[in-house]
Amino acid sequence: MKKKITIFGSTGSIGQSTLDIIQNHPDKYEVVGLSANKNYQKLNEQVEIFKPKIISIADEESFKKFNDINSSNIIVLNGKDSYDEILDFKTDIVIAAITGAVGLLPVVSVLNKGITLALANKESLVCSGMLVTKIAKENNVKILPIDSEHNAIYQVLDFKNKSNVSKLILTASGGPFLNHDNKDLEFVTPEQAIKHPNWSMGKKISIDSATMMNKGLELIEACFLFDMPYEMVDILIHPESIIHSCVEYIDGSILSQMGTPDMRTPISYTLAYPQRVKTNVKRLNLGEIGKLTFFNPCFNKFPCLELAYESLKIQKSAPAVLNAANEIAVEEFLNNKIKFTSIPKIVEKTLNNTSFSELNSIKDVIEVDSESRLLAHSLIKTGGF
C-alpha cells in the first residue's frame, strides 16, 4: 500500500524536495494534504500534479487569489489554524517544514493525533523541547529528523545502547562568511548573506547559517531530540558539507553519515523509514573530492553559537527567548533595518533583559515567544543594542 503523506510548508525548499521524491515514486507515496503561507501560484502547480484531497493557505489574500486560478474540486482551507483540519484526513506521515516558531502548533497537533512526524521545523524543539518530546512519548509517536545533521545522527546512533555514546558531533559548513574578517561582516548585505556555498535554502535559514545561529539552534534541537546534555554535543566546522554529523562511542569509534549536500537524502530516509528508496541525488565521489577539512568554530566571529550554548545552560524559557529574538532580528536584517552584526547583539540584549520561567504548557511557550518578540522589536526601535 502507498504511504499517505501530508506536507506542512509544501512550497518551501523542503516541501518541494519532498514532492520531487514522491513524484519519482508514484507507486510508494500518495499526497493527502498540502499547506502554504502565501505562495499560492506554486501551490496551485503542486495541486495540479499531485491532486491532494485537502490544502490550506494561511494568508487570506493568497487564499482568495488561489481560488481565482484553481479549477479543481479539492477542499481549500484558510487561516493559521487550518492545519488541524487537514489532519482529519488519514495520513501516515506528516512533513513539518514550516519555518520558525509558527510551526510549533502544527507539530503539536500532529503528535497529539499520533501521526509519525518527519521534522524539519527545528524551532519547535528549540522553543519547547521538553514539552514536545513528552507529547511524542505520551502518544507513542516517532519523530524522524529531516535536518541533515540530526538525520545523520539518527542513522548511526545506537539507541538501544546509548550508554556507549561518548558524544555527538554536529558538523557545520561555516556559511558564506567563514573566511571573512570580523570587520568585513559589518557591511554584509542580505543578498550576500543568503548565498550559501553548499546548500539551497530559504532566506531565513540562510541568514541563520551565515550567523551560525542555525548551528546553535541545531545544537539545542539535538539535545532534546536525542536526550543528550549539551556537554556531550560538539560543533565542528566542515566546509565541504560531506560528513553530515558523527557519533563518537566510548571505545573510540566515530561513526558518520556521508553524502553530497542535498536535502533529498535525509527526506527520502524519513519517507521510506525503516526502508530506503532510490533518489536522483548526485553520488558522492571521495576520490574526486580529494580531501575533507575540519576545525573548531570561532565563537568570537560567530557569537550566536555562544548564545545558544548559554541558553542551554540556563534552560527554562531561555531557548524560546533566543529563538524569538533571532527571528525578529533576522527579519529586520532582511528588510535592511539593521546591520548583519546587530543580529547577535539583539539576541543577547533580549536574553539579558528577560526573566526566565519554567515552561509547563504550550500556552506558556506561546506567551514567552510573544513577549520576547515585543522586547526585541522595542530594542531595535530604540537602538538599545
* Average pLDDT estimate for 6-23: 97
Pairing, β 254-258 against β 243-249: antiparallel
pLDDT of residue 181: 86
Residue whose C-alpha is closest to residue 320's, from 358, 286, 264, 293: 358
Q: Which residues of 307-319 are buried (b: 16+ CB within 10 A; e: fewer)?
A: bbbbbbeeeebbb
Alpha-carbon gap, residue 166 to 161, rounded angstroms: 11
Give percent of the chain with pLDDT exceeding 90: 90
Alpha-carbon gap, residue 317 to 371, rounded angstroms: 11
DSSP category for residue 128: H
User: Please, which residues bridge with residue 237 across strands?
Assistant: 172, 295
- Backbone phi, psi, residue 76, to 5°: -120, 120
Q: Which amino acid is present at 109?
A: S
Handedness of CA 192, 194, 195, 197 (dihedral sign): positive
Residue whose C-alpha is closest to residue 16's, from 3, 4, 7, 29: 7
- Say yes or no to pLDDT of 200 above 80: no
CB 335 within 8 A of CB 275: no
- One DSSP character per residue, 70-89 reads --S--EEEESTTTHHHHTTS
- Cα torsion 38, 41, 45, 51 to 10°: value is 50
Residue whose C-alpha is closest to residue 173's, from 140, 142, 212, 134: 212
Which domains, ranges and CATH numbers included, belong to the chain?
A: 3-145 (3.40.50.720), 148-174+212-297 (no CATH)
* The overall pTM is greater than 0.85: yes
What does the pLDDT look like over 133-163, one tens digit per residue? 999 999 999 999 999 999 999 999 999 999 9
- Say yes or no to pLDDT of 280 above 80: yes
CB 20 within 8 A of CB 45: no
What does the pLDDT look like over 48-88, one tens digit per residue? 999 999 999 999 999 999 999 988 889 999 987 888 899 99
- Find how far residue 167's CA is from the centre of its chain: 22
What does the pLDDT look like over 324-370, one tens digit per residue? 999 999 999 999 999 999 999 999 999 999 999 999 999 999 999 99
